[in-house]
Every structure is written in C-alpha cells, then in structure tokens.
Structure 1
Amino acid sequence: MTAFALTRPATRAPALLPVLACATVALAPVEGYLTAVQGQLGKLAPALLTVAWLAKRIGQRTWPRPTPLHAVLALLAVVLAATAAWHSAGPFTAEYTVRWLPFLVVTVVLADVAGREVPIRWLLLAAAAGATVAGAGALYSLVADGQARASGPQPDPNDLAYFLVAAVPLLVATRARTVATAIAGVVLVAGAAATFSRGGALGLAAAAGWLLARRVLPWRLVAATAAAVAVLGVATLLAAGPHLARAVQEKSFIAASNVDTRELRWQAAARMVTAHPVLGVGPGGFREQYAAESHNAEIDEQTPVAHDMYLEVAAELGLPGFALFAGVIGVAAVASERTVRRAGPGPRRTEAVAIQASLLAVLVTSTFLSEQYYLPLWSLAALAVAAETRLRREGEGGADAGAARHQ
C-alpha cells in the first residue's frame, strides 16, 4: 500500500503538467475576464503549474539541464533583487517586484516542460486558442457593447492588440488548413484591427513579412485572410456605420494626443536612465517619478507607463538589468534560429519560424507599449529554448542509438 501511494503521484504528473502548461498560456489573453470573477483567478494556472512542476522534479530528482536562458534569468533576478533593495522605500517597489518574479519562474518552468513532457505544438495551439477567444471578445465589445475601440478582456485596447497579433503567427504551427483555423485567423486579425492600435498593426505586418520571407506562409493565404477581414469590415460598416465613424473620429483625436504624451514619457524615461544608469529608479519607479521628471501631472492617468518596454525596463532596472532583459530576447532569437537551421524542412522548422514571427510581433509592438508584465514575451522565449532542447536531445538519442548498434 505504501509503495502504491508513493508511486501514484508520479503516474498522474505527466497528465497534469500538459494540462496546466496549456492552461497557463491559453488563459493569459483572457486574464481580464478571470480577474473580473476573482482578483487572483488569473494567477491560479501558473501557480498550480509551478507547484506541480516542482513536485514532479523533486519526486524524480531530475532538474532542468542548464542553458544560457537559465543563466540570464538568474542574473536578472539578482539585479532585480538588488535594485528593489536599493529602492525599498519606494511606494510601488514591492508591488512591481512581485509582478516581475512570477514571469522569471514561469519562463524556467515552461522551458523545461516544453522541452520534456509537453509538445511545443500543443502550447502554440493553446496560446492561439486563448487569443482567439480574446479576439471574439474584442469584436463583441465593439459591435454589441458599442465601445469606441475594442478591448474585450483587456482594459487597454493596445494591450489586447498585443496579445492578438502575437497569436496570429502561431496558427501557422497548426499545419492544418481547416475551416476552424481560417476562422481563428480572421477573428484574430479583425479583433486586432478593431482595437485601432497602430503598434499592433506594425507588429502584425512585421510578423507576416517574416513568415513570408521564411516561406512558411503562402501568399494566397494572406490574400484570403485579408479578403475575409475586408468582407467582415464592410458588413460591420453597413450594420454599424455611424458607430464606426465615431470610433475612427475619436481614435484620430486620441492619436494626436498620444503622440505628444508618449514623447513626454519617452523623454522622462531617458532622463531616468541617464540619472540612474546602474540600479535604475527601481521596480515601479517610473510610475513614482514620472510626474516630477516630465513636469506633466496627468490627472486621468494614475498608473503611468513609459509606452516603450525597452525604455521602461532600462529606467527601472538600470543598464545592467536592461542588458540581461535584452539577453533573454537574444537567447530566444539564437535558439530559434539554430532550430530553424538544424531541423530542416518539416514541422519543427515551421514551429520555430512561427515562434520567431510571434516574438518579432511582440518586440515591434512593445516599442510603443510597456509589455514586460504580460506572458507572450516570456512564454515565447521559453518555447524557443525548448524547441532547441528537444532537437538536441533527439540528436543525442540518435547518436546513442547508433553507438549501441555498432557495439
């Protein structure tokens, strides 16, 4: 009885980890819906995933094989702790430090489970499925709720566009040209368009260009998606023409204001980097010091962000922290490119290129948004490293098998 009790959790863990890993990436785009039900519900899946992963690794006494990603994340955690300790008196330091840490942990966990137990294709599909639900929510909020800009499960339409455009390239990894995939693509693109996010449009264009350049996305599929979105747009215009005209007018007015506001925020962030190049102003320091640095108190904006992920990270964590943050992106880019070159034609190459295109969409969009506190960047870095890890393990397995045959 005792032996059975000891082995029983190990038999369940392989089934549990894939479910929790897929739930983590699938629920991230719709976290706003979960938060509306209960404030911490959106954090449940990643927390359970981390606990299940720890239990399985401790039970089996196996730990992830060290990779450059682990080293960069560990050093980033050290810098984060150092700048948080230096600025511990800041009113938002603890809150924003706690926001950073789960992403570092989940990145390690996803990279490990995707490299062992969970097929990468499952995680890509789960992320695309969750974003498709968010895209449907975006269209509903625009048409049914009468919002000027679609927001759906995210309070900010720009953040919603970030999730949607990052998910579009992942549909390529399905390798299935079905009606469901086509509908998902149209919903994602139309939902992103309904946010009227210019950064999202640039990110989507960059991702599509990359997929075309790497020859994993046929031109006819791009044309078909564009035609379907155009038809949907015309139908929406006929059904809700005055509403859309008002939305476009409001967006045009807001866009002019946004340019001036973002310029002020970028300048303020740059001054913070110059004044505090080593340890920055601390996690949450931009929010604390923005009004003083910009001399522009925005009464309607109580939680200001830099609207540029790179400037905000550099301002808050200093140049060493920014270098390590950029290192996470660099490790992911190198790992994915190695996978593309070594895998050869086939599913593995397609998945790696889809990850690259999605990561490119994230990086372009984040030039105009502060997106370091959202999962896509971190999960894509994890999957890029996991794809290379799987390829290397398969190669080692093949070499071992060949050596055994010769013996």
Structure 2
Amino acid sequence: MSVSQALVAGPSLGPAPAARRPLDERLVHLTALLVVGLAPVEGYLLDLGGQLAKVPTVLFVLAWAASRVRQRSRPRLHGVHVLVAALAAVVLVSTAVHLREPYAVEYAIRWLPFLALAALLVDVAGRDVPVRHLLAAAVVGACAAGFGAVYSVLVLGEARASGPLEDPNDLACVLVAALPLLVALTPGPGARRLPAVARGTLLLLAAAVLVVGAGITFSRGGGFAAAAAVAVLLARRAVPARAIGGVLALVAVGAGMLLLVAPAQLDRALDEKAYIAGTNIDTRELRWQAAARMLAGDPLLGVGPGGFRSEYAEASHVAELVEQTPVAHSMYLEVGAELGLPGLLLFLGVVASGFVASERALRLGADRRVVAAVQASLVAVVVASIFLSEQYYLPLWSLVAVACGLELSQRQQGRARGRSR
C-alpha cells in the first residue's frame, strides 16, 4: 500500500479501485497524484533540471487525453470551466495588447498552464481519482516541503525556512494550506483502517512536520491563514477543540525543541523577522498603492501579465531604489492591476466556485469532513493571498478543482442511485 493509500483508507469518494481499471485510467490516476504531490517541492525539481518540473504535468495531460480518446467520452463540465475559459481569454487578450511589455509573454505562459490544469483536475476529480487521494497527495508533498524547511534551518543554517521555495512566506502558505486536509484523511466508521496506533502516528507526524515547518518560516501571513483555517474547522464542527489543543501543543513542543537545538539561529531569525516586518509594512503599502493606480489607469485590460513588475517604478514614482521590478505581494491587487477589472472579477469567480461547489457537494451527500477540510484549506490560501501572490502556485487551483470535482462526483453518484431504483 502506498503512502497516499494508507492515509486515505476511508470511505470511497470516487471510481472503482485502480486494480480493476484500464491502464490509461490508472495512468491518469497516477499522474494526477504526481502533479498535485510534487507541486510543493517544485523548487527541488527545478534545481535538478530546468524542465524536470514540467514532466508530471506533460505526462498527466497526455494520459488524460489518451483516456478520453479511448473512452470516446467528453470531459465532465462544471460551471467553473466557463469562468476558467473566460479568464484564459482575458489573459490572452491582455497579453496581445501589451505584447511589447518585457514580462507579458513570460507571465502569460505562467497563467495558462494553471488554468488548463485546473480545468483538467475538475474532470478527473469528478470521475477518475477519488478526492481523498488528491488531498493525500497534497499532504505528502507538503510534508516533503516541511522536511525541507526544517533541513534548511537546522542543516543549512538559514534564519527563516525556505526549503523548496525561495520565499519563506510562500512556503508557509503551502504548509498551512495542507494542514486542514489531514481532517479529510481520517477514516470514517466502517472503513478499512490501519491499526489505531499506526494511523494516529502517521497523522500526528504529518501535522508536526507541517506545523513546525510553517512555524520556522516566521510568516505573519501564514499565522493569519492558520487561524482562519482553524476557525472554519471549528465552525463546521469538523474537528474537536481538543485536537486543536493538540496542534497548539505541537507548536509549543516544536518551539521548545528549536530553542534547545539552535538557540543562536532562533535569536537571529527573530531579529531578522523584526527588521523585515517593519520594512514589509512600508513596502507593501507602496506596492498596493501602485497596483491600485494601475487598475484605475486601465480598468479594462490592466497593464498586462507581468506588467506590475515593468510598470512599478513609474507607478510608484521610483519609491523603491533597491527593488524596482517586484511583485505586488497581494494576489487580488496584482491580478486586478495586470488583467483589469473583468479579469479580477473572473478570477474571484473561479475562487468562489470552490466554496459554492463544496457546499453543493455537501448537500448532495459528500463527507462533511472532506468538505470542511477543503473549505478550510481554501480559506487559508485566500487569507494568505492578501499578502502574497499565490496565483502562481498550484494549491489555489487544485483546491478549487477538487471542490468542483467533488460536486460532479456526488451528482453522478446521485444519478446512478436514481437509475438503480
């Protein structure tokens, strides 16, 4: 049994077991898990080879296309596909209008694969891959990134953990977003289970790695995101308060161990974070103001993909001498500045579709814990993205896709039950 299968040994939320399915469908299953699971450690793949990070996506697209051709079936469509297609059109039009901008093509090429992956993942989550398997892959990948975070601090001597990602804040978002997904991986009544001790140890270890890894990034945005995710889980009664207390105990134990193992590094990290925190407040205010000016100046198509970087110096009146081509450090303002108001509204519509679809799936009979976990994780990303540019990271898109795919799967199961009567 694989790691992901062990974690997700619970009620089925998808198709029949892979052993009884054709090869092309099993390849879709495997490559979808690779895409989701390797996304958190993409930085390591880039270090090994510039094109290596693209291999899982290429294999997934080929497997998906081969499977649909063999089955002679169309993708299962969801309302979010319309929004994704419209957003892709806005990206292309804005790129064409701002083609001479230095970053336009580069950033359009970053946008389009995420949109395509989201569209395909909705389809496979709706029919090919059980949702719990995708969530387990995300957790396994995030845990690998969490180990990388610890290694970067304790072995490489970094003041703030970065692991496979260059920015500690982005790493914190990935780790915090994976933490609520553990709720979905606890098996329900009557499910095949690992022995209680082994199951509890696996989940506890995963939680410890994610919590400690996120903690040593010293990211305030990650802290806000974690608090928001916990609030959702408690509000949906998906996790008992004592479990939250256990996680807080993990935080205390991790902090105590770090203080004992590397006190000098901890002091240096806290000093560095205190210095950076004051600077960040000022620079982010400047960047947010510049993004707002860009959106007001061209509300229809914005300044083009990547245009915030090329236009920042002028829009901010050269407010930063050290950094003149930064990111906005706010997903919403950056998307609005670069794609205009229509692009921003479509983008927000895609994100909102994840919440709407998960609620519909719950009404159709989806496991409450799975729905709450996906919603809490998506809330964590949404909150962290107030301070970060997370549109270029897969968790946002995969969570929306999983939520919409879950609704499609529940609708199909409902139709199947209706025909069987």
Q: TM-score range by the shorter chain?
A: over 0.9
Which residue of 196, 209, 212 maps to 2:218?
A: 196
Q: Distance in 2 between matches of 1:270 and 1:258?
A: 18
Q: Distance in 1 between matches of 2:323 and 2:127?
A: 44
Report whether the alignment pairs 1:21 with 2:35: no
8 Å CA contact 2:28, 2:67 repeated in 1: no
The AA in structure 1 aligned to 2:75 is P
Report whether the alignment pairs 1:374 with 2:393: yes
1:349 counterpart residue number: 368
The AA in structure 2 aligned to 1:396 is R
Report whether the alignment pairs 1:109 with 2:120: yes
2:300 counterpart residue number: 278
1:399 counterpart residue number: 418
Which residue of 324, 329, 335 maps to 1:307?
A: 329
8 Å CA contact 1:339, 1:349 repeated in 2: no
Residue 396 (structure 1) shift: 0.5
8 Å CA contact 2:361, 2:407 repeated in 1: yes
The AA in structure 2 aligned to 1:155 is E
Which residue of 346, 350, 354 maps to 1:328?
A: 350
Q: Percent identity?
A: 53
2:102 counterpart residue number: 91
- Residues 118-137 of structure 1 mapped to structure 2, 5 A cutoff: 118-137=129-148
Which residue of 271, 276, 294 maps to 2:316?
A: 294
Residue 42 (structure 1) shift: 1.2
1:33 counterpart residue number: 44
Cα deviation, 1:304-343, whole Å, max 9, x if unaligned, reads 1000000000000000011110110111110011122332
2:6 counterpart residue number: none
The farther-off stretch of 57-66 and 313-322 is: 57-66
Aligned residue pairs, count: 390
Q: Distance in 2 between matches of 1:43 and 1:349?
A: 34
- Normalised by the length of structure 1, the TM-score is 0.94
The AA in structure 2 aligned to 1:329 is V
Residue 299 (structure 1) shift: 5.3
Report whether the alignment pairs 1:44 with 2:55: yes
The AA in structure 1 aligned to 2:120 is V
Cα deviation, 1:27-47, whole Å, max 9, x if unaligned, reads 000001110000121121112
8 Å CA contact 2:148, 2:164 repeated in 1: yes
Q: Distance in 1 between matches of 2:233 and 2:273?
A: 30
SS in 2 for 1:30: helix
1:214 counterpart residue number: 236
Which residue of 205, 225, 230 maps to 2:247?
A: 225
C-alpha RMSD of the superposition? 1.3
The AA in structure 2 aligned to 1:314 is G
Residue 225 (structure 1) shift: 1.8
8 Å CA contact 2:286, 2:319 repeated in 1: no
Residue 212 (structure 1) shift: 1.0
Residue 380 (structure 1) shift: 0.5
Unaligned runs of 5+ in 1: 1-9, 403-407
Q: Distance in 2 between matches of 1:124 and 1:260?
A: 37
8 Å CA contact 2:318, 2:324 repeated in 1: no
Q: Distance in 2 between matches of 1:333 and 1:101?
A: 22
Q: 1:231 to 1:54 in 2, by over 3 A?
A: same
Report whether the alignment pairs 1:338 with 2:360: yes
Structure (1/2) with the larger helix percentage: 1
Q: 1:245 to 1:300 in 2, by over 3 A?
A: same
Q: Distance in 1 between matches of 2:322 and 2:210?
A: 30
8 Å CA contact 1:340, 1:353 repeated in 2: no
Unaligned runs of 5+ in 2: 1-20, 188-198
Q: 1:299 to 1:33 in 2, by over 3 A?
A: farther
Q: Distance in 1 between matches of 2:54 and 2:222?
A: 25
8 Å CA contact 2:211, 2:250 repeated in 1: no
8 Å CA contact 2:290, 2:315 repeated in 1: yes
